[in-house]
Amino acid sequence: MHNSADIPPHRFSAAPMMDWTDRHCRFFHRLLSAHALLYTEMVTTGAILHGPRDRLLAFDPAEHPVALQLGGSEPDDLATAARIGADAGYDEINLNCGCPSERVQKGAFGACLMREPALVADCVTAMRGAVDIPVTVKCRLGVDDDDEEQRLFQFVEQVSAAGCKTFIVHARKAWLKGLSPKANRDIPPLNYPLVAKLKRERPDLTIILNGGLASVAASSETITDLRLDGAMLGRAAYQNPWDLAEADPIFLSLIHI
């Protein structure tokens, strides 16, 4: 990774956001924070394998550290896309297991993968076999009427057994029926204590909190209180980008927590 050696790579990151975190947005964010880990928009395996991959994967070297988020559920395709992403110079490959949009559901990936941990484990195994850079997963607490704790803990248990050591947890369930992706960002209630419990029970894993964090300062306070490994800021990073200028001094001060 291209972070300062003193800062854990996931201490603070800016979330992957469709139609927002393109290369121009990421370059701008890098001007405000030297150390934040930046994520691409979700890119589907089909787009990488069959679309204009050079344009989709292009980024400026100044964006490092930068991670590629993939959308897909077919292990071989994900492995090939991950290898292409690593060859393009990305620092991490992230699998999307949290997006609730109908378009994503029809592709059999995103949040619906929370109910297929064995498949996600196969995907992680395939990607890890294809690349030497970290493979991480971004997920929800569950979907629809799932028991949050049971679903999340079962998912993490199986996927971590495949070698994924970093989970970015959007701390609410996804409602796949009847709620738009926009509503899914607000209506299912946040459950930060469950994410903290996951970390307590799996101290061997890197657990990053996402969802409902309104600012860099709030992010640092929350992960300190909950003893989590890092925070991922979403809409706030896009809608109030100047707040990212606070990230480096605030999170540098937390390197020993």
Peptide bond into 75 cis (omega under 30): no
Question: Can you tell me the distance from the alpha carbon of 81 to that of 205, in angstroms, rounded to the nearest whole number?
Answer: 25
Torsion of CA 229, 155, 158, 39, to 10 degrees: -50
Ordered by where they begin, the domains of the chain are 12-252 (3.20.20.70)
* Single-letter residue type at 97: C
What is the Cα–Cα distance from 158 to 24, expressed in whole angstroms? 36
CA distance 79 to 92: 13
The pLDDT tens digits of the residues spanning 105-143 come to: 556 778 999 999 999 999 999 999 999 999 999 999 999
In sequence order, what E strands does the chain have?
12-14, 37-44, 66-71, 92-97, 135-139, 166-170, 206-210, 230-233
Q: How far apart are CA 154 and CA 131, in angstroms?
A: 26
Q: How far apart are CA 22 and CA 27, in angstroms?
A: 9
**pLDDT tens, position by position, 19-78:** 999 999 999 999 999 999 999 999 999 999 999 999 999 999 999 999 999 999 999 999
Q: What would you report as the CA-atom Rg of the chain, rounded to the nearest whole angstrom?
A: 17
Write out the DSSP string of 172-193: S-B--SS--HHHHTTSSPP-HH
pLDDT at 4 over 90: no
Give dist(CA 99, CA 102) in Å, integer: 9
Residues 155, 161, 166, 170, Cα dihedral to 10°: 0
List the catalytic residues.
Answer: 99
Residue 40 host element (H or E): strand 37-44
Q: How confident is the model at residue 220 (pLDDT cuts 50, 70, 90)?
A: very high
Compute the distance between CA of residue 206 and CA of residue 167 in angstroms, rounded to an integer: 6
% pLDDT > 70, the chain: 89
Q: How far is CA 138 from the centre of its chain?
A: 4
Please report, rounded to a whole number, the percentage of residues in the chain having pLDDT higher than 90: 79
Strand partners, 71: 44
Residues 6+ apart with CB under 8 A from 238: 17, 20, 21, 25
Beta bridge partners of 136: 94
Torsional sign, CA 207, 245, 215, 173: negative
